[in-house]
A = this chain, B = another copy of it.
Amino acid sequence: MTEQRVEFRVSPDRYRHWKLSADGPVATLTMDVDEQGGLVPGYELKLNSYDLGVDIELYDAVQRLRFEHPEVGAVVITSGKPKIFCAGANIRMLAASPHGWKVNFCKFTNETRNGIEDATANSGQTYLAAINGTASGGGYELALACEHLMLIDDRSSAVSLPELPLLGVLPGTGGLTRVSDKRHVRRDLADYFSTKAEGIGGKKAVQWRLVDEAVPRPRWDQTVAERAAELAGRSGRPGNAPGVALTELAKAREDDAIRYGHVEARLDRAAGSVDISVKGPQTGPPAGIDAAKAQGAEFWPLAVTRELDDLILDLRTNEPELGTWVFRTEGDPAKILAHDELLLSSRQDWFANEVLHYLKRTLRRLDVTSRSLIAVIEPGSCFAGSLLELALAADRSFQLAGVFEDSDAEPATITLGEASLGPLTMSNGLTRLQTRFWGDEAGYEAAAKRKNEALEAEDAADLGLVTFAPDDIDWDEEIRIATEERASFSPDALTGLEANYRFAGPETMETKIFGRLSAWQNWIFNRPNAAGPDGALRRFGTGQRAVFDRKRV
């Protein structure tokens, strides 16, 4: 395995497609895609169309705005090209990509757009789409992730979702869900809009709620500036605080290992699994949140979250055949709980708020990852507080009852902390604990009452916090069987099973995007009517019409 891997670490000085400029409380993200800058050869990124490389930069910019720019209260997304805002995902790239690549690409772009909404909702950083040219497909979907949509009213610029009429697929980045559930476009109008390739512009786009306002070109720059200033004015972010720099993440990537400061992954290609080990903090927390800021990117909760985030993205994109991830931890539970306590007691502070929401988003990334997740809780582990979420995110967890023979270690414990009781919600709006005990309030209460107690295996299993509690005699065998068995099952069926069982209870726009919309899109992407040699996706741009099997399924 020496072929090129996709790397998610990037920084503004290396951007090829975006310009990030911050001017006091308003920042501007200008999309100006380098046609020749595709991540892999074989296509040109014309008309501000994007591929994964373009979106990796966008993700980086959104992250940096939150951490490095506490002074920014509004972010304008606009285009650096004339007449075109963004043409969406590059079609040639999509048509040439294998099914798994397309699905993984859509997942990441969805997460980035959800992150934009998260910044608006939870970070006082409100996004404004300044649609200064046509926004089609993924281009309009990018705008839909913004809070306020302004469309230039010039008789030619329009917003559109041409995927269905032109490509025979769905808009893949939440477009349908946001049109119906966020913009509240009436279903019949939405239906019409999504079949009209040329889209809708001007006043009608406003009337139909597709955008918030249409502004003539002469008043454009001034109106955008006014709106951005208004949105920034509502922000509670500190105007003059210094940011925390997201310094280059130290990472050693080998063929069979990925190592960071606190996280290490060992890749077992024969078994089809990855062993992921997370180290707790070596020391107690800094004296206060300002001291934490002084630690900057080294502050343990931020550092470990960045490492996990990068690891998830790396493994998802580069290692699709490693279907099972086994999580272990190592360290002192008390030190994690103390770090959590610092963050939770400082939530009014912008930095503490950012770290908590970043951890929340990273754990959500894990929830929607199409890999089987297993947590292994052994003596010396530290599944406590925020790190317990890794075990609660797992499809199954094993905690050793007692200790290994001839060991003088203390038995493994888990500790449910305050972090599991509120801030780290899943995309369904509930905590992992609430989701776990959905429909079982007594079970929830019994577990929550044991907050901050170190629970040994039998207790934890009785409370329903871990799945199984084998003793040392059965331990190796049980873990081995669980991972080997997992590797023997259909990977597709596992993906479907996990996507269903991980999200009991209510649905939100976010779960609808990942659960309903993405599942339909997966199916459509995989059908000959789209991806077959005569399918719409493959024939687009060839001058030949697609040939459809007309049977409705």
Chain A contacts with B in 482-523, Cβ cutoff 8 A: 485-487, 489-502, 504-507, 512, 515-517, 519-523
* A351: min CB distance to chain B, Å: 33
Residues on the B chain within 8 Å of A272, using CB: 550
User: Taking the complex as formed, is A439 at the interface, i.e. its CB lies under 8 A from any CB of chain B?
Assistant: yes
Structural contact, B485 and A553, CB atoms closer than 8 A: no
**Cβ-defined contact, A491 with B551, below 8 A:** yes
- Docked complex Cα distance between A502 and B187 (Å): 7
Instruction: Return the chain B residue nearest A546 by Cβ.
Output: B490
Contacts of A330 in B (CB 8 A): none
Question: A178-186, A220-228, A236-244: which lies at the B interface?
Answer: A178-186
What is the interface of chain A mostly: helix, strand, loop, or mixed?
helix
A117: Cβ under 8 A from any B Cβ: no
Task: Give complex CA distance A524, B489 in Å.
Answer: 13
A103 CB–B CB distance under 8 Å: yes
In the complex, which of the residues B464, B496, B516 contacts A515, with contact meaning CB atoms closer than 8 Å?
A: B516
A420 at the interface (CB under 8 A from B): no
The complex places the Cα of A194 from the Cα of B395 at a distance, in Å, of 12
Report the Cα distance A550→B371, complex, angstroms: 11
| Contact of B184 with A439 in the complex, beta carbons under 8 Å | yes
Within 150-202 of A, Cβ neighbours of B (below 8 Å) are at 163-165, 167-170, 176-177, 179-181, 184, 186-192, 194-195
Given contacts A180-B501, A494-B552, 11 further A-B contacts (CB under 8 A): A177-B500, A186-B436, A186-B440, A186-B443, A187-B502, A191-B396, A493-B529, A496-B521, A500-B516, A507-B507, A523-B523
For this chain, the copies found in one complex come to: 2
Q: Residues of B contacting A180 with CB < 8 Å?
A: 438, 500-501, 504
Indicate which residue in B522, B529, B550 contacts A321 across the interface (CB closer than 8 Å): B550
The 10 closest A-B pairs by CB, nearest first: A184-B439, A168-B490, A519-B519, A507-B507, A496-B520, A523-B523, A188-B467, A320-B551, A180-B504, A176-B500
* Interface check A394, CB cutoff 8 A: yes
Question: Chain B residue with minimal CB distance to A170?
Answer: B496
Interface residues of A in 410-469 (CB under 8 A from B): 435-440, 443, 464, 467
Q: Which residues of A contact B (CB under 8 A)?
A: 99-100, 103-104, 163-165, 167-170, 176-177, 179-181, 184, 186-192, 194-195, 272, 320-323, 370-371, 394-397, 435-440, 443, 464, 467, 485-487, 489-502, 504-507, 512, 515-517, 519-524, 526-527, 529-530, 536, 546, 548-553
Contacts of A548 in B (CB 8 A): 490-491
B residues near A505, Cβ cutoff 8 Å: 181
Closest CB-CB distance, A428 to chain B, in whole Å? 10
CB-based contact B530/A492 at 8 Å: yes
A131 to chain B, nearest CB (A): 22
> Which of B320, B395, B500 lies in contact with A552, CB distance below 8 A?
B320
What's the least CB distance linking A97 to chain B, in Å? Answer: 12
Contact yes or no, B186 A536, CB < 8 A = no
A-B contact pairs, 19 of them (CB 8 A): A165-B489, A176-B501, A180-B501, A184-B438, A187-B502, A188-B467, A191-B395, A192-B396, A194-B501, A370-B553, A487-B550, A490-B529, A490-B536, A493-B524, A496-B523, A496-B524, A506-B507, A519-B520, A522-B523
A553 proximity list for chain B (CB < 8 A): 99-100, 103-104, 320, 370, 491-492, 495, 522
Q: Within the complex, what minimum Cβ distance (angstroms) separates A163 from chain B?
A: 7
Which of chain B's residues have a CB closer than 8 A to the CB of A530?
A: 490, 492-493
Question: What residues of chain B lie closer than 8 Å to A551, measured between beta carbons?
Answer: 100, 320-321, 491
- With contacts A504-B181, A523-B492 taken as known, whether A497 is within 8 angstroms of B100 at the C-beta atoms is no
Q: B504, A435: Cβ atoms under 8 Å? A: no
**Best-surrounded residue of A190, A194, A322, A524 (most CB of chain B within 10 A):** A524
How far does the alpha carbon of A176 sit from the alpha carbon of B504 in the complex, in Å?
Answer: 10
Which B residues are CB-close (under 8 A) to A526? Answer: 523, 526-527
Complex Cα distance, B489 from A169, in Å, reads 10
Known A-B contacts A438-B180, A497-B176, A516-B519; the reply to A164 vs B552 at CB < 8 A is no
